[in-house]
Each structure stands twice: as structure tokens, then as C-alpha cells.
Amino acid sequence: YNTTVTNVIFEITEDKKVAKQIVCIKDGKEETIDLVEDDLVFVTNGSCTENSSLGDDDHAPVLNTTEGGCWRLWRNIAAQDSSFGRPDKFCTNTNKTNWESATITTLDNKIPPYIEKVCKRNPFSGKVVTGGIVTVKDSSWLMSYTLNRQPHFKAQPDNELVVWVYGLFTDVDGDFIKKPMKECTGYEITQEWLYHLGVPVDEIPEMAKNSAHCIPCMMPYITSFFMPRTAGDRPKVVPDKCVNFAFIGQFAETVRDTIFTTEYSVRTAMEAVYTLLDVDRGVPEVFGSCYDIRVLLDSTSKMLDGKKLKDIKLPLLDKIKLDIIKKEISGTVIEELLQRYNLI
């Protein structure tokens, strides 16, 4: 605790790259930790949540565009060798990498009916509510929101809901609140959300004031790993010729996965450990769910909330086509699959 790692010092020769020293600031004083080749150093280079700041109902969060400890560490490491990546590709354009999120907690029974009207599910059921993220495509902020199973927190009162809201365009005036999202208090963000939920405009200010609390969070680097990049901008998990050092996380390069997932961070850590310790074990491959008809049918059933195909409202011509298809697949493996995943 109370410690910031500022650099890892390397001894680089033609044959190998060895991490020799960790430089850190502990309780305000610089310290060094000497390393040998048998020590192992794992660095999470970069951070999408670096310099995140919170606001509240009455205060907007401050956009902090300073360098931040995670980026400073990677920059200091990268300055020593080209194989350690190019962090400036990801951390020098906060105009493009920032967006803002917020948690909105409803406090009474006024807002939940508007949520249910959109998602067609009882948000207090303890089951899936929105079923994913609802994007308000007409929103100037490009606002999205989601409710997962409630209660979201163990100590959450039974009559409250916790909603996650975010906006991608923080420097554009809102549709109800005529100012950029990054300048808005939690109270103002709640009003904008209620507007897009369909609450009558004359009821919005009072409802936002007395029926909800909002904690906004400004994140200057949250989409930094989506910035345009080329080979070498992110270092390999174990850079060439490194014997006791590895990068892990979203800004390390591995061929196995797509970033912005927990799995990506786990797989880079596996690759780092197996490589440095010469463990003869493969990193699990990404499950190819998009090519598996069973997964697609099961997902279809869940997206339909368990409804059968016959219960879906379709134009008459499409219903006739569906009946013809049912006759064609009768007694086949296709019929068995549709039955197994509750579609017929």
C-alpha cells in the first residue's frame, strides 16, 4: 500500500533482456528493489481506468488528463527498448479516449415502471432485467444503460434498483440538459436519462431530485485500447529475449482473444507464466461460440425469453413459411435441435 512503481530497469545485451531493478515510491520516498534472473516481474502496462474521478448529485466529476502512474510506468519501461511497445499511441489523446459513466439508484416506485415499459420485464424479479445494454440511438450523448439482476449489491434495499448509465460523446450538449455530459452533475445526468426513458418533461426535475441518486464517473482513458494501432504498439506478453519479465493485461499483445474482456487479461497472464517458467501447458483457446449452432439456438431461445417460434408475432406470409419449414424438418436432426433448445 501507499506504493507507486515508477520504473523497471533492464540490463539489455545482444542475447537477453533482464529486469534488474524495480524503482518505486513508498510513503513519499523513492526505493529500489534489486532483481536477479530467477525473480519474475509481471507488469500490467497501461490502464483504461487511470485517473478516473467521481462526482455526485451536486458536482460534476473533474476530467483529469494528467499522465497517471500506470502510463508513466509503461513509458519509462518503453524508453529502454523498442520491443516494450509504444504507450503514447494510447494515452495522449483523451479527447478520443474518454467517456463518462454513472450509477443511478432509484429510491421509490416512480421510475421502475418506465424501465419495465422499455425492457418488458419486472426489474424487481431477481432475474435478467434489460438483458444487455439498451442504447438510446437518438441520444446526443449516445447514452446507453443497463440493469442486471437486482439486487446488484448484497446490502441493497429491496425497493431500490441500481442502473448503470454511460455516454460516449461527453463534449456534446444533451437533448434535455443543454450542456456537455462532462460538465453535468449527477442530478443533471439523471434528468437526461429520465428524458430518454420517456418520463413526461414536466415531471423530470422533481423525479430526478427526489426519486434517485446518481454518482457520475469520468474516465479519460476508458477506450484507449481501441485507438488505431499497428504491430509493435502493444508489446508481446513476453518481449523477445526477455528472461524474467512479462507484460499482462489489455495492452499486451496476444493472438488468442479480443480485448475488453476479462478472459484476455487471464490468458495473457497464463501465457506469461507458462512462457517464463517453461511450463508445457497450452493457454485455453477462445470458445468459438459464434460457429456453434447449439450455442446460437440456445442464445436465440434466451433472447426470446423462452417463447416458442409459434408464439412470435409474424406477418401472415412468414407464418406460412414457418409452417412449411416445420413440415420439411419433421423427424430430422434439425427438429431435434430446435426441440432441445426450446424453440419448438
| Tens digits of residue pLDDT in 33-78 | 999 999 999 999 999 999 999 999 999 999 999 989 999 999 999 9
Distance CA 21, CA 341 (A): 56
Going along the chain from its start, the domains and CATH numbers come out as: 3-50+64-92+224-276 (3.50.50.60), 99-219 (3.30.9.80), 289-340 (no CATH)
Q: How far apart are CA 62 and CA 46, in angstroms?
A: 21
Whether residue 158 contacts residue 124, with contact meaning beta carbons closer than 8 Å, is answered with: yes
Q: What is the pLDDT of residues 67-99, one digit of tens each?
A: 899 999 999 999 999 999 999 999 999 999 999
Look at residues 231, 249, 233, 246 and name the one whose alpha carbon lies nearest to residue 17: 246
Per-residue pLDDT, 48: 94
* pLDDT value of position 323: 86
**Is pLDDT at 225 greater than 80 in this prediction?**
yes
Mean pLDDT estimate for the chain = 94
306: confidence class by pLDDT, cuts 50, 70, 90: confident
Classified as helix, coil or strand, 203 is coil
What per-residue confidence (pLDDT) applies to 291? 86
Query: Quick check: 268 pLDDT over 80?
Result: yes
Mean local confidence (pLDDT), 316-339: 89
For 140-154, b/e burial (b = at least 16 CB within 10 A) is bbbbbbbbeebeeee
Q: Helix (H, G, I), strand (E, B), or coil: what is residue 114? A: helix
Residues listed for the chain: 344
Average pLDDT on 257-277 reads 91
- DSSP tag of 229: -
> Mean pLDDT throughout 284-290?
84
Q: pLDDT tens-digit profile of 289-302?
A: 888 999 999 999 98
pLDDT of 169 reads 96
3-state DSSP call for residue 19? strand
Instruction: Tell me what pLDDT residue 34 has.
Output: 98
| Nearest of 74, 70, 41 to residue 242 by alpha carbon | 41
- Best CA proximity match to 294, nearest among 257, 324, 337: 337
pLDDT(324) > 80: yes
CA distance 84 to 174: 41
> How far apart are the two ends of the chain, measured CA to CA in Å?
57
For the chain, how big is the Rg over CA atoms in Å? Answer: 25
Query: Nearest CA to 164 among 143, 179, 178?
Result: 143
Note whether 211 and 194 are within 8 A (CB): no
Q: What is the pLDDT of residue 211?
A: 98
Confidence of residue 259 (pLDDT cuts 50, 70, 90): confident
| DSSP line for 151-195 | -SSTT--TT-EEEEEEES-TTSB-SSS-SBGGG--HHHHHHHHHH
**Residues with Cβ within 8 Å of residue 32, at least 6 apart in sequence:** 21, 22, 23, 24
**Cβ-count burial 239-260 (b if 16+ within 10 Å, e if not):** beebebbbbbbbbbbbeebebe
**Structure confidence at residue 20 (pLDDT):** 98
Closest-CA residue to 184 (of 198, 202, 172): 172
For the segment 120-127, the average pLDDT, to the nearest whole number, is: 94
Q: Which residue has the cell 439456438?
A: 297
Alpha carbon distances (Å) from 15 to 12, 18, 71, 128, 173: 8, 10, 28, 55, 56
Whether 257 shows a pLDDT value over 80: the answer reads no
Instruction: Give percent above pLDDT 90 in the chain.
Output: 85
What mean pLDDT is predicted for residues 130-148?
95
Does the structure show a pLDDT above 90 at 321? no
Is the model's pLDDT at 203 over the cut of 90? yes
Work out the average pLDDT over 17-46: 97
Distance CA 299, CA 321 (A): 22
